[in-house]
Amino acid sequence: MMNIEVNGKKVQAADGVTILEALNNAGIKVPTLCHMKGLPPSGACRICVVENAENGVLMPSCSFPAWEGMKILTHSPKALAARKTIVELLLANHPDDCLYCDRNNNCELQDLAVEFGVRKRKFSAAKNNYHIDSSSPAILRDPAKCILCGKCVRVCEEVQAVSAIDFVRRGSRAMISPAFCESLNTSSCVNCGQCVAVCPTGALVERSSIADVINALNDPEKIVVIQHAPAVSVSLAEEFGIDAGQDINGIMVAALRKIGFDKVFDTSFTADLTIMEEANELVERIKNGGKLPMITSCSPAWIKFAETFYPEFIENLSSCRSPQQMMGAVIKSYFAQKQNVDPSKIYSVSVMPCTAKKFEAERPEMIRHGVADIDAVLTTRELAKLIVRYGIDLRNLAPEEADTPFGTRSSAGKLFAGSGGVMEAAVRTAFFMLTGKNPESPVISGFRGLDGVKEVTLSVSGLTIKAAVVSSLGNAKKILEAVKKGEAQYHFIEVMSCPGGCINGGGQPRSVDRQNVIKRLKALYAIDEESELKYSHENPDIVRLYNEFFKKPGSHLAHELLHTHYTKRELLK
């Protein structure tokens, strides 16, 4: 440890930390824009400058190392004036459409303008004449609102290993764009939305489906049903100022009914259905010498990543559809038959923590006989806006249960929201399929937590099964490269596109605080601990669905409705 002086007070700091890290550890706040915790500093924006008290020099605290005996001022007139000038320069050519911007009242640039008292335009510059890129099914890109902080570029390249966007051009013409200033749909973008999650302004936002959903709700000819993903109930509350990690499942269901949805289903039900099919597929591959390692297929951004960058692993992908698409297929087949309605009359909505789910719903493989399994996908953030639009006060709602038959779920299905959850749920049921009994403990601690790569070796009925759990596409790339080179052998690999899994998806409440993500994950574990139904194969409504409709996992009808195929993608040249 070393001693430094901050604003005239002694502070201890660990050796080797930056000034910003030392300040944060001491509970002293300094504003940032370009800084990304856990990644090397770029020092691009200079908003975090502090003053050296001994010589008056301004230093970027995010990239400048702290040293023994240093004396700094975090909020001196000189530092504050520099920060204010930077904000004024950023606003010089920024659009004046805050009232219409998706990020209004939730914009880091707007917050900084308030913090530094910027209330009029000091510098004027010609507005950039950029076109909005609406080519992606998941993400809207408005270059005019970009402040060149570089966060989107860094998360895309350094975390996700996709590199779909980068800085192009030079000087005052510099911008962030796909290669050759083309559109997102011609790039390697996998629609994960991590760029949206870190963008401080409205330069990157999800494509909104709110208007389409409202139109369907107002159409008397439509039966409008909605499903909500496992991650949504443990994160939605944050959008309403409630502490992170609160599970408001029942309250959310009540809100959805008040909005006017005819049926409210829980995607955790089809997470259980996914486990039945996926565990059966894994057991079949292990017993019959099938293609191994088998790799999960629940994350659509991961699927597109594999199709684009690792097509040699397409045969390794589980053929199971994601829980979202399984629910969509079951709603427009089994549910439609039970209700005696034409599937085309059903408008199926999903609420997902993921922007890539918008892309997945539009995949041609997910459209049967001209009818899409899912008609609209809302992110968690969009659902919050819809609830506000309908004037619903979450704090004064009594919890309600989701509708049957797709409302009953095991806690194994709920675990899908966190990294390792799919693997843990699958192993619980695969163990049963191999041995005829449940494991001694349903909890497999080696699969839990936020580590980017986790490995577990299991012994089941004389078989040794080696499994890996990976979150973030950058880590997926490392694992796939190791498998290609023969440096690692696995039977089963779970891949989630976003760091930490769906709880940290691109459509979740924006949070720079990792503790919020940890709290969401802990909420899932608490649900599992308190649940009496912990195994997907023991879900009574899943058993009933097989008895009445699918007959057994892996049946012909199950393959027709619950499985799919993937294809190598060629990047446009």
pLDDT of residue 364 exceeding 90, the answer is yes
What are the tokens at 77?
A: 């007139």
What are the tokens at 223?
A: 């039966």
Query: Is 360 labeled as catalytic in the residue annotation?
Result: yes
Q: Which residues on neighbouring strands pair with residue 201, listed in sequence order? A: none
pLDDT of residue 204 exceeding 60, the answer is yes
Question: What mean pLDDT do residues 184-202 have?
Answer: 96
Write out the DSSP string of 6-69: ETTEEEEE-TT-BHHHHHHHTT-----SS--TTS-----S-TTEEEETTT--EEETTTSBP-TT
Query: Is 481 labeled as catalytic in the residue annotation?
Result: no
Query: Is 281 labeled as catalytic in the residue annotation?
Result: yes
Element (H, E) at 522: helix 514-530
Of the ranges 180-184, 254-258, 469-473, 474-478, which one carries the lowest mean pLDDT score?
A: 180-184
Domains of the chain, with CATH numbers? 2-90 (3.10.20.740), 128-206 (3.30.70.20), 211-562 (3.40.50.1780)
Which residue reads 């989630």 in tokens? 496
Burial (CB count <10 Å: 0-12, 13-18, 19+), residue 84:
middle
Question: In 3-state terms, what secondary structure has residue 550?
Answer: helix
Of these residues, 238, 278, 424, 494, which one is catalytic?
A: 278
Of these residues, 177, 297, 318, 411, which one is catalytic?
A: 318
CA dist list (Å): 473 to 159, 161, 228, 470, 477: 7, 6, 24, 8, 6
Looking at residue 445, its pLDDT comes to: 84
Instruction: Give Cβ neighbours of residue 145 (< 8 Å, ≥ 6 apart).
Output: 94, 95, 101, 201, 202, 203
Of these residues, 365, 400, 455, 538, which one is catalytic?
A: 365
pLDDT of residue 438 exceeding 90, the answer is yes
Residue-wise pLDDT for 30-76, tens only, equals 999 999 988 999 989 999 999 999 999 999 999 999 999 999 999 99
Write out the DSSP string of 444-497: -GGG-SS-SEEEEEEEETTEEEEEEEEESHHHHHHHHHHHHTTS---SEEEEES
Instruction: Give Cβ neighbours of residue 99 (< 8 Å, ≥ 6 apart).
Output: none
Of these residues, 21, 281, 307, 382, which one is catalytic?
A: 281
CA dist list (Å): 512 to 38, 44, 334: 11, 18, 42
Query: Is 278 labeled as catalytic in the residue annotation?
Result: yes
Of these residues, 206, 360, 424, 494, which one is catalytic?
A: 360
Which residue reads 């303008």 in tokens? 113
Looking at residue 129, its pLDDT comes to: 85
Of these residues, 62, 189, 298, 320, which one is catalytic?
A: 298
Query: Is 298 labeled as catalytic in the residue annotation?
Result: yes
Of these residues, 357, 358, 414, 519, which one is catalytic?
A: 357
What is the DSSP-derived secondary structure letter of residue 548? I
Residue-wise pLDDT for 380-411, tens only, equals 999 999 999 999 999 899 999 999 889 899 99
Query: Is 357 labeled as catalytic in the residue annotation?
Result: yes
Model confidence at 460, pLDDT cuts 50, 70, 90, reads: confident
CA dist., res. 83 & res. 45, Å (int): 10
Greatest pairwise CA separation for the chain in angstroms: 80
CA dist., res. 337 & res. 557, Å (int): 15
Looking at residue 474, its pLDDT comes to: 97
Q: Indicate the average pLDDT of the chain.
A: 94
